[in-house]
Amino acid sequence: MRHHLASFCCLLLSAFVVCSPWAVQAGPSSAQALRLNPVQPHVDFDRPTDADAEGCTIRSEQVGGDAAWVVESPEGVVLRKFVDTNGDNTVDQWRYFKDGLEVYRDIDADFDKRADQFRWFHTEGSRWGVDETADGKIDRWKRISPEEVSAEAVRALAAGDAERFELILLSDDELNQLGTGDARAAQIEESITTAVDRFRKLVAQQRDVTETSQWVQFSASQPGLVPKGTDGSTKDIEVYENAIAVVETSGEHGQVYVGTLVRVGDVWRMVDIPRPMSAENTELASRGVFFQPAMPERQSASAGAPSEKTQQLLSELEKLDAEAARATSPEEQGEYVLKRAKLLERIAASVPQPSERRMWLRQEADMLSAAVQTGQLPEGDERLAELFNRLKQQGADDDMLAYVKFRQYAAQYAVALQQPKANFQSLQETWLENLESFIKEYPNSHDAAEAMLQLAIAREFEGEDAKARAWYARVVEQMPDSAAAKKAAGARRRLESEGKTLELSGQSPDGGTVDLKRFRGKVVLVQYWATYSDQCKADMATLKELVAKHGDQFAVVGVNLDHNVKDLAEFLQENRLPWPQIYEEGGLDSRPANEMGILTVPTMILVDQQGRVIDRSIQASEIEDDLKELLSRSSARRRSSQR
């Protein structure tokens, strides 16, 4: 497929030079154009017969300002559009239509004559796949709906394709982005770590979904929003529970249990394997991760099920959580948190397995710490101190003690900051001392990486770059596999970037690629920004003036760090910016943000004509003076070379 796409690109090369009658005559026939098919299979698009194709027409025209070939039916209905979006006289988008509506598009985003992105539109859905190796197989989903995830799960099961399933499974990085409390995260991590192996075993055993099975529809109740603070979560989480895919096999309908789906940016993800449903396993539909107590099918040491006492306590917990919505005032919310904390401790005491006990105690620590930081329970730090002392007396291991201690420190800091006459400088130093003490006492704990990162960030904000670099380095060296290590490595790179060449490239919102190398010869201002920052928007006014004044020698590249691409799209629709944007999912935890360790917006980096960083943290008011100096130096060098 790649070879005939490239051949067709060459066929169209000369015809894109001008849009004139003789250019059309020199170009491909409509029959030739209609012989092309989408790279991805199973696309429902208009396919004229050979006889009908003879009556179709092909013409060159401008499509949204880009040169294109347009194929139409004898009735004037658009069938195909082949577009050159970057003006290099080569097709880089192949668009397919159904009943006059575009339903699918192959995209050559890096302009190497090979399709590397695939998008579905209108009646074919909303998926956006990326093929990073340009071999025709999707390597990751940039956008996919829950309905389409369920369809992909069925197709993966039918084909026995574990790689296809893995593309819709929540990854470790996405789990970190999700912002669940640690107890919930541990539960999900346990599931996703083994999911691919379990999927392969299922494929070898199951006979309900076959190669002839077809996805029919998605079935689920409405999605729910798990609010920030629930069980220690740091973000709102959008969830489908107990989702089902209806399938048809040889005229018979069946169901595949998809389970829990979570939203991460513009993609939805599974957290477990899909399983065909039958009379023997209909109990699957009663399971859940977020909307039910988080212990599906937990086994006790003897009976293989929770003890009667544990079941009773879980029932009390379910009732208490159902009543939580009635707590509207901070006082009522605080009472609910205290009741729940006591109940969680009783549940922890009732289960025999240490791993289960830790899960419930971690949930309690997460909840108390979150309640302090949201102002629901100011005395929550005292409760955490009591929990820590009690666990220490009981001989709890260092992992459990470290978990509670870190959240105790965070809660203490939050309570102190909420005081009316808080001395920020003094509190900050105490917080940093506590972090250093934590690292010394629990150097191998999961939270040690986050503690070191917080120390590095604090020292950087205080202007102590040497100390900041040292802490960033420790995160990378001691905890290389942690999520904090990615941010730390990037931050260290940014602090040491001045005088070095900045390598920056990324996806644009329209599916293309923005590469800083294209702007060599110009001074470039890289603006890391988000639509929620008023300061970023104010800086844009200055940048627009500078582009208007020095546009032939000065350029701006935006790196948007919103969590939702819709926020960016809406902003750009109302505020046209005369420079390109890079956008990739994840906000401040996205790949472009982590590569330079961006901690806050706005952050702006000034780069000279050779691509070297001049200022890694420039202010809008400083740009014009530095720009004039750089342009003056460049002009002086040119004059000198002409003598």
Backbone angles phi and psi of 526, in degrees to 5: -95, 120
Angle between helices 446-461 and 398-417 (to 10 degrees): 30
- Round to whole Å and give the CA distance between 456 and 464: 9
Burial level of 517, CB count in 10 A (0-12/13-18/19+)? exposed
Query: Span 74-92, mean pLDDT?
Result: 91
Tell me the mean pLDDT in the region 517-529: 96
544 has a pLDDT exceeding 70: yes
To which residue do tokens 């800086």 refer? 539
Pair of tokens at residue 320? 């208490």
- Check if the beta carbon of residue 239 is closer than 8 Å to that of residue 188: no
What pLDDT digit, counting tens, does each position of 141-193 carry? 999 999 999 999 999 999 999 999 999 999 998 998 898 988 888 889 989 99
- Candidates 595, 425, 633; CA nearest to 506 is 595
How far is residue 292's CA from residue 260's CA, in Å, rounded to a whole number?
11
CA atoms of 305 and 157, how far apart (whole Å): 30
Pairing of strands 581-583, 554-560: parallel
Question: Quick check: 594 pLDDT over 60?
Answer: yes
Contacts of 452 (CB under 8 A, 6+ apart): 435, 439, 471, 474, 475, 478, 479, 484, 488
Stated pTM of the model: 0.56
Distance of CA 474 to the CA centre of its chain: 26
Predicted confidence (pLDDT) per residue in 360-404, tens digit: 898 899 889 888 888 888 888 899 999 999 999 999 999 899 999
The residue that leads in pLDDT, 33 or 1, is 33
29-79 per-position pLDDT tens digit: 888 889 899 999 889 999 998 888 889 999 888 887 788 999 999 988 999
Rounded-to-integer distance, Cα 292 and Cα 243, Å: 14
pLDDT per position as a tens digit, 433-474: 999 999 999 998 989 999 999 999 999 999 999 999 999 999
**Higher per-residue pLDDT: 18 or 596:** 596
> How far are the Cα atoms of 193, 234, 352 from residue 185, in angstroms, in the given order?
12, 12, 21
Residues 6+ apart with CB under 8 A from 470: 456
Average pLDDT over every residue of 541-557: 94
Output the six-digit token pair for 250.
Answer: 């040889």
Task: Tell me the mean pLDDT in the region 613-630.
Answer: 95
d(CA 596, CA 491): 5
Q: What band does 126 get if pLDDT is binned at 50, 70 and 90?
A: very high
- Are 604 and 535 in contact, with CB atoms under 8 Å apart? no
Rg (CA), the chain: 29
Over residues 216-230, the mean pLDDT reads 84
Q: Which helix (H) or strand (E) holds 393?
A: helix 380-393
pLDDT level of residue 131 (50, 70, 90 thresholds): very high
With contact defined as beta carbons under 8 Å apart, do 606 and 618 qualify? yes
At residue 278 the predicted structure's pLDDT band, cuts being 50, 70 and 90, is low
Q: What is the pLDDT of residue 325?
A: 66
pLDDT of residue 26: 46
Please tell me which residue, 329 or 547, carries the higher pLDDT value.
547
With bands split at pLDDT 50, 70 and 90, how would you rate the model's confidence at 21?
Answer: very low
